């Protein structure tokens, strides 16, 4: 049986965790991760997962199919960096408990 003091402590921790998660979500808006493929394509992705920058060298323009592959690879790599960062930050808040965000 959970005592009243224990229940109050859990409620306090839950509220603090909620505040920390809200702060993390705001902080993610400022995060940007990028990836460069073959020194020809650079993609930057925001902490919310949106592409924020795309740079393509003139040399990359020679082969459309390869260029498309490089853009996809750079985006996916940058997105993976964002995901890893946000998962790490979430674990700091939740102590490793998996919560959806």
Q: Which pLDDT tens digit goes with each residue over 70-93?
A: 999 999 999 999 999 998 988 888
Could you give all domains of the chain from N- to C-terminal order, each with its CATH number?
27-82 (3.30.1310.10)
Question: CA geometry: angle at 68 spanning 57 and 77, to 5°?
Answer: 85
Q: Which pLDDT tens digit goes with each residue over 36-56?
A: 999 999 999 999 899 999 999
CB-CB contact of 70 with 62 (8 Å): no
pTM listed for this prediction: 0.75
């Amino acid at each position: 049986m959970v005592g009243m003091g224990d229940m109050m402590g859990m409620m306090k921790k839950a509220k603090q965790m909620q505040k920390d998660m809200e702060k993390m979500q705001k902080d993610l808006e400022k995060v940007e991760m990028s990836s460069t493929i073959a020194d020809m394509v650079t993609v930057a992705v925001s902490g919310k997962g949106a592409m924020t920058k795309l740079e393509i060298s003139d040399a990359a323009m020679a082969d459309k199919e390869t260029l498309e592959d490089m853009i996809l690879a750079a985006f996916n790599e940058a997105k993976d960096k964002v995901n890893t960062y946000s998962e790490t930050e979430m674990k700091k808040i939740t102590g490793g408990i998996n919560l959806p965000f």
